[in-house]
Structure 1
Amino acid sequence: MGAAPTTAASRRRRRAIPWVFLGLWVAVLALASPFASRLADVQKDRPVDYLPASADSTEVARIQDQLPGGEATELVLVYHRDGGLSAADRKTAAEQIAEVADAHRLVAEPKGVPSEDGTTLMYPIASTEPGQDEEKRDALVGDVRDIARGEGGLSVDVGGGGAFDTDASEVYNSLGGPLLYTTAAVVALLLILIYRSPFLWLVPLAVAGIADYFAMAVAYGLHQAFGTAISGQSSGIMTILVFGAGTDYALLLVARYREELRRIEQPYDAMVAALRGCGPAVLASSGTVAAGLLCLLAADLNSSRGMGPLGTVGVLCALAAMLTLLPAILVLLGRRVFWPLVPAYGSTPKRRRSLFAAMGGSAGRRPLAVLAGGGVLLGALALGAFNLPGSLKQEDSFTKTPDSVAAMKTLAAAYPEGSAQPITVMTRAGDATAALAEIRGTKGVDRAQKGRTAKGWTEISVSASAPAESPGETATIKALRDGLDGAYVGGASAQQLDLKESNARDRAVVVPLVLAAVLLVLVALLRSLVAPLLLLAAVVAVWGASLGIAGLVFEPLFGFEGTDPGLGLLSFVFLVALGVDYGIFLMHRMREECLNGCEPGPAALTALRTTGGVVASAGLVLAATFAVLTNMPLVQLVELGFVIAVGVLLDTFLVRTYLVTSASVALGRKVWWPGPLSRPRAAATSPAPEAERVRVPSP
């Protein structure tokens, strides 16, 4: 009699728990809603916003912001006719420039600079009207473009740093919607194919969307509380991680839940068993990704440093949603959510020939040969990295050609002897005369003139004799920095130089930190040193091979003129952190089998057979979500998405399936050294500590 009320109360509590979690998420979303919508308002995508605070070009922009009118918006109006400009063309140009000068406050009177071949006339102008207001800057650029129009074969393009920033901002602001919708569509398609259910795919997709919305609110909070840099790139990557990693966690949980529903009658109990079974691996996986991404906080580059917290937010929000909201919804919907392939209680799934069992068998028969062959293949692919094009120039940053880039290309062809992209020098007002003389005497300087003077600073505009972003102009910038005491050298080309140098410094600092952080997490999880080193070596090999494949296709196939300086670091962080995930799922299951008395060789093959299908599905989803970036209009996003997608596929179908499995078979118990599982079987099969046992509650 006394047990009945307890049982009834327990049943009521079990029925209430999913509703409690559902209610908590409704409350969380209600609180997050006002903040999530503001994330786009704090997004900044000027090149200078990506730079470290210590960079010369950052100092130039900071000082300019303090001058009357703030940082000047520099534009170049480019008038061009293939057969040569006529007198009427020059008159049109002069009239339009005068109209621009009447409508806007310019720093100096515009002066036209004709090209030697007579085909082009450029008018550099600068205005301090917008200050730091991006909307006013974009309005200025739009108004100038409305005024400067050509007809009858006369082309007019508006370029310069301000126009480029406007075009880049327009592209970044347009990423959010298409990126989200495309990612959701790709994930939906793959889930339909994987689940073969008209309803089930909607649940993890909807939960991922909720997690993304929550992540946006948390990211905005980080910006407000700690000043975390938000860029179009970092917010886009955050969305990719929410959908990619979140769907991976959902696939693992749903697969284990389906398995438990055949053994346990009540959905609530089956879900508890599923969470106990796959929860540790999922937690370790997300912890590894978070640890790797947080190492980016050590980066000097502002954009990379901001990427770490935002990526971590995306992964952790996805984890929270998939381990609380998803289980609650699945339990409330019951078995019918799997229709038409409903897992009946007490049923046995149909035995099918496993592709991964066959692949594991081949790796198990000749492990050393498979390991050597795979290593040679990855090494050969990595050699392609030497074919990667040089650093990406600003004019090559778009997959299409906006007005500002068209202007830059016209200028490069018409003025091959000089740069139409000014170098800005900020010097103390009292030193301006001496600095101007020093600048004019610097090798590679074509001309220089004073600009504004205020707040104790003088702005000097410098034109190099070499083309923009060429080795000659780079040498001129370095010579100016070496020769001027107490002055700062900035401008668009200087910003690109600072980006390149900061990325080189960050690679030397962040890469060892990522390896150390991921290694510590793996050692704690696997109670071994050899297995973590094996997994790390595998993902580093995948990274090298992915860059090699990129080197074979970027320029020859995609036509990219350069490689983003940050590609190496960001692709390394993501591939190491995300790639280790699949090794964790494999090794965690292998360790579970060894704890139950299985030898490492058979345990590795069993782990591959049991995890192969779901992890392959997870790898396909993650690769597809990053592949969405290859459809974006920015070359750096296309390159990053391609390298990560290729790396995930290599890791899923080659490294984890063949190389890690064959290495585990070849090493035997040594793979668990120096942990207890590395000892002879009599010691290894002794009762495992209670914390290490994976128990499934009885139905």
Structure 2
Amino acid sequence: MTTQTSMTEPAGAGTPPPQPPSPFRRYASFVSGRRSKWVVLVFWLLLIGVGGSLAAKLGSVQNNEQQTWLPADSQSTHAIDVANRYFTAKDVMTAVVVYTRDEGLSGTDLARVGEDRRQLLERRIAAADIAPAVVSQDHRAAYLTVPLRTDKSDNAVLGDAVKSVRKLTEDHAVAGLDVRIAGQAGNIADFIDVYSGMDAALLATTLAIVALLLLITYRSPVLWLIPLISVALAGQVASGVVYLLAEYAGLTVNGQSSYVLVVLVLGVGTDYALLLIARYREELRRHEDRHEAMALAVTRSMPAIAASAATVGVATLCLVFGSMNSTRGLGPVVAIGVLIVFCAMTSLLPAFLVILGRWVFWPLIPRHTGDYADDGAGGHAAASAAREHGTWNRIARGVGRRPRPVWIGSVVVLAALACGSFTLSSGQTQGEQFTRKVDSVIGQERLAEHFAAGSSAPADVYVRDAGAAAALRALPGVPGVDSATQVASSGGWTHIAAVLRDSPDTHAARQTIERIRHTMRHSSPETRSALVAGQTAVTLDTSDAQGEEERLLIPLILVVVLGMLIVLLRSVVAPIVLLLSVVLSFGSAVGAAGLLYHALGYPRIDRGLLLFGFLFLVALGVDYTIFLMTRAKEEVRERGHREGILTGLAVTGGVITSAGLVLAATFAALTVIPTVNALQQGVLVAVGVLLDTLLVRSLLLPALALEIGPRFWRPARPRD
């Protein structure tokens, strides 16, 4: 009779009909289904089979030529176009072979220099004619300027050419004669040498760090392997996609974007895995069927993971509006990596875990206890949270007792650390780019001791033939110019080499380039269209472009992140507070990193470091804020603002802290690369992530949310 009554009951009476499953729930049911999990696994195995073979080719499409990083409208870019069209063979770069003897060069030494020049030409190691050696006035040094072949798609071409020069000079060395290879070719060859094998070393180091942290986190000899394998496979697919875009769609990929892709995929992928597995562990205690437990875990963690991936992806895509090809290329590379690792962590990882079963958690296997009542929204009783998350429950209650002193103290600490940023200065010299002395740096120092320091890389001035005479008269009078010599004329243009008194990568040399350009514009009507290039000019134009990118991209990224937070939280007050906290966290990270740079002996930074750090610390730092606030909002619906915030902190504290430690450690792995820029990038992001995880997310944000009260969620009303 009861059944009959319910069947004839009018619509709207009694229990409302069940709501259709959400898109997240339908997706979750598919990736964790009894049969469909095998479809997911087979799909990823096929994808990995293709992507893995393509990933191995990624190095072949890297383009590390300095001029390709320049804005299309920079003077250096136009000058390089003129040089390639009328004066130099395409794909040629200059090395400077420096010979020194402290006691003075002997006749045998000079004969050796002449013989080296002849051999370099006869063996066709040089790409063009080599001018006779230049001997210093003190007769203790000489140098040859050797043009070498290069290929933007194959770094090995230049590296092999420099090795050939080095082998020739070493095979016929005269005892006591010091020989170094400097110049732009020597400098880039040293970069190629120090990065040689670094992809494998970086990957191995990062994997080892992540594996160790996962082993400590899970205290299981098996479970740590599952997310690590999933992330590694996702990284192979991402590298394969990036290769295809670089090969067939013109995407610019360089050494920096390649190693950022490796580190980011491992760090972000592990973050997502930690969040999902923590939720899966909770659901396994509430549900006997592991398929149902995984479906609920994916459903309830997907909003946070999807919001995080979307925020990072869209924020990094803002880089396509940058001035330099390297910046524009980095954005899609990172976005592709985040998208693919998101898909892998929400499909491949759940399928793996469900297929393997509960035993992968051994020895801490989560049993179905029924302790947690399923309330349909994932909320748990405060007592359960206290039992399961004891340490973080105590931290949460501590914040709840005195929120005002907590957030004020946190702000004071962060602001004090931010003051360290005033100790930083930009403009690394060539000698400051490596963590150890390399051949090109020593060669440049030898040149500076015996010649005008700019001899290894003179400024290239290209002027119309009608203005050549006026330019040759004006250039020697420019402060900082040692000499000016006409090199050649072709196609209506004249090439003049202006030797600078200062080393080509110093601030003084860049000021000289600015004075040369000013003189050319105002010397005569015929020189007004002159173009100034060379190593120093390229560095100057790169620095100017980086400044323009900072002014454009930093506000744009902030607007994008704010918009994503507003959409996610359906609030205005909370996103503004969260964004301000992330900006303060970035400032403190720069300051703290600056103090560490001084302690490590590398106080000067590359101008591009700030944009790099801002992008990753804001985009990745907001990850942990999203993880915390989505769970807090979920809890607020069940138990009110205060208890919801504190419970959200208690139940997410452990997993988010673990995720932060993993991400910080993966970026710290960049310190294995023997360049100062990579070391500084790793230190900055690692310090920033730790500050954001341990201070901003754990103390500042919960305390501010309690201080503001329910208005924190306006105009949304999560309890409704």
TM, length-normalised to structure 2:
0.88
Other-structure match for 1:694: none
Whole-angstrom distance in 2 between the partners of 1:101 and 1:440: 32
Q: 2:515 aligns with which of 479, 485, 488?
A: 479
1:334 is matched with: 357
Is residue 20 of structure 1 aligned with residue 39 of structure 2? yes
Match of 2:457 among 421, 437, 440: 421
Aligned counterpart, 1:92: 112
Instruction: Name the aligned partner's letter for residue 648 of structure 2.
Output: A
Tell me by how many angstroms 1:352 deviates. Answer: 5.8
Amino acid in the other structure paired with 1:258: R
Match of 2:605, SS?
Answer: coil
Residue number in structure 2 paired with 1:121: 142
Residue in structure 1 matched with residue 315 of structure 2 by the alignment: 292
**In the alignment, does 2:641 pair up with 1:600?**
yes
Bigger shift: residues 59-68 or 92-101: 59-68
Amino acid in structure 1 at the alignment position of 2:190 = D
2:670 to 624, 629, 636: 629
2:566 pairs with one of 519, 523, 535: 523
* CA drift at 1:151: 4.5
Match of 1:144 in 2: 165
Give the corresponding residue for 1:379: 415
Give yes or no for contact 1:138–1:166 (8 Å, CA) kept in 2. yes
Higher alpha-carbon deviation: 223-232 or 530-539: 223-232
Q: CA RMSD in A?
A: 2.4
After superposition, what is the alpha-carbon deviation per residue over 1:282-326, rounded to whole angstroms, capped at 9, x for unaligned?
101111111211111111122122111111111111101000100
CA deviations over 1:387-406 (Å, ceiling 9, x no partner)? 11331123321112221122
Partner of 2:654: 613
What do the CA deviations read for 1:573-621 (whole angstroms, capped 9, x no partner)? 110010011111111111111222x332222111110000000000000
Trace 1:19-418 onto structure 2 (pairs within 5 A).
19-67=38-86, 69-104=89-124, 105=126, 107-127=128-148, 134-149=155-170, 150-346=173-369, 351=387, 354-415=390-451
The 3 A distance-change label for structure 1 pair 363 and 416 is farther
Residue 605 of structure 2: which of 563, 567, 570 is its match? 563
| 307-316 or 394-403: bigger deviation | 394-403
In structure 2, what is the Cα distance between the partners aligned to 1:593 and 1:31?
A: 43
After superposing the two structures, state which structure 1 stretch, 364-373 or 183-192, moved more: 364-373
Q: Is the 8 A contact 1:356 1:657 kept in 2?
A: no
1:177-199 deviation per Cα after TM superposition (whole angstroms, max 9, x unaligned):
11111111111111111111111
Alignment of 1:442-521 (within 5 A): 442-454=478-490, 456-482=492-518, 483=520, 484-521=527-564
Q: Please state whether the residue corresponding to 1:271 is helix, strand or coil.
A: helix
Supply the AA of the counterpart residue of 2:625: G
Amino acid at match of 2:433: S
Conserved 8 A contact 1:65-1:131: no
List alignment gaps of at least 5 residues for structure 2.
1-28, 372-383, 521-526
- How far the C-alpha of 1:430 sits from its partner, in A, is 5.8
Aligned residue for 1:642, secondary structure, equals: helix
Q: How far apart in 1 are the matches of 2:445 and 2:298?
A: 57
Question: Is the CA contact 1:389–1:551 (under 8 Å) kept in the aligned structure 2?
Answer: no
Aligned residue identity for 1:450: Q
**Which stretch of structure 1 is more off in the superposition, 384-393 or 537-546?**
384-393
2:606 aligned partner, one-letter code: D
Give the deviation of 1:419 after TM superposition.
4.3
Partners in 2 of 1:344 and 1:42 — Cα distance?
Answer: 50
- The amino acid of 1:578's aligned partner reads L
Cα separation, 1, equivalents of 2:150 and 2:223: 55
Offset of residue 277 of structure 1: 1.0
More off after superposition, 235-244 vs 668-677: 668-677
Q: 1:71 to 1:64 in 2, by over 3 A?
A: farther
The Cα of 1:553 is off from its aligned counterpart by 2.1
Q: Which amino acid aligns with 1:546?
A: A
Q: Check the 8 A contact 1:388/1:550 in 2, yes or no.
A: no
Identical-pair percentage: 39
Cα gap change, 1:36/1:454 in structure 2, threshold over 3 Å: closer, same or farther?
farther
8 Å contact from structure 1 (residues 374, 659) kept in 2: yes
Shift of 1:32: 2.6
Q: Which runs of 5+ in 1 are unaligned?
A: 1-9, 678-683, 687-699
Which segment is superposed worse, 602-611 or 463-472?
463-472
Alignment partner of 1:153: what SS?
coil
Structure 1 letter corresponding to 2:220: S
Compared with structure 1, are the counterparts of its residues 402 and 347 closer, same or farther at alpha carbon in structure 2 (3 Å cutoff)? farther
Residue identity matched to 2:502: A
1:545 Cα deviation (Å)? 0.9
> In 1, are the aligned partners of 2:476 and 2:483 still within 8 Å (CA)?
yes
| Aligned-partner SS, 2:188 | helix
CA separation of 1:486 and 1:174: change in aligned 2, threshold 3 A: farther
Amino acid at match of 1:647: G
| Distance of aligned partners of 1:13 and 1:602 in 2 relative to their CA distance in 1, 3 Å threshold | closer
Aligned counterparts of 2:632 and 2:127: Cα–Cα separation in 1: 69
Separation (CA, whole Å) in 2 of partners of 1:62 and 1:457: 12
Bigger mean CA offset, 650-659 vs 334-343: 334-343
**Number of equivalenced pairs:** 668
**C-alpha contact 1:599 1:668 (8 A) present in aligned 2:** no
Question: Distance in 2 between the 1:321 and 1:133 partners?
Answer: 32
SS of corresponding position for 2:33: helix
Cα deviation for residue 118 of structure 1 reads 4.0
- Which amino acid in the other structure matches residue 194 of structure 1? T
Q: Distance in 2 between matches of 1:293 and 1:622?
A: 17
**Using the alignment, how far apart are the partners of 2:428 and 2:673 within structure 1?**
16
Q: Does 1:674 align with 2:682?
A: no
State how far apart, in whole Å, the 1-side matches of 2:549 and 2:604 are.
20
TM-score (norm. length: structure 1): 0.91
Distance 2:158 2:695 in 1: 50
Change (3 A) 1:129 1:546: closer
Q: Distance in 1 between matches of 2:624 and 2:32?
A: 36
**Mapped contact 1:76–1:160 kept (Cα < 8 A):** yes
Query: How far apart are residue 236 of structure 1 and its match?
Result: 0.7
Deviation at 1:246, TM superposition (A): 0.4
Point out the more displaced range, 449-458 or 328-337. 449-458
Taking the aligned partners of 2:155 and 2:51, their CA distance within structure 1 comes to 26
560 and 111 in structure 1: CA distance in 2 versus 1, 3 angstrom threshold: farther
TM-superposition CA deviations, 1:410-469 (whole Å, max 9, x none): 223333665432112233456545544443454432223333544554433221123323
Aligned CA distance change for structure 1 residues 391 and 287 (closer, same or farther; 3 Å): same
Report which stretch shifted further, 56-65 or 388-397.
56-65
**What is the CA–CA distance in structure 1 between the aligned matches of 2:67 and 2:150, rounded to whole Å?**
19
84-93 vs 377-386, which deviates more?
Answer: 84-93
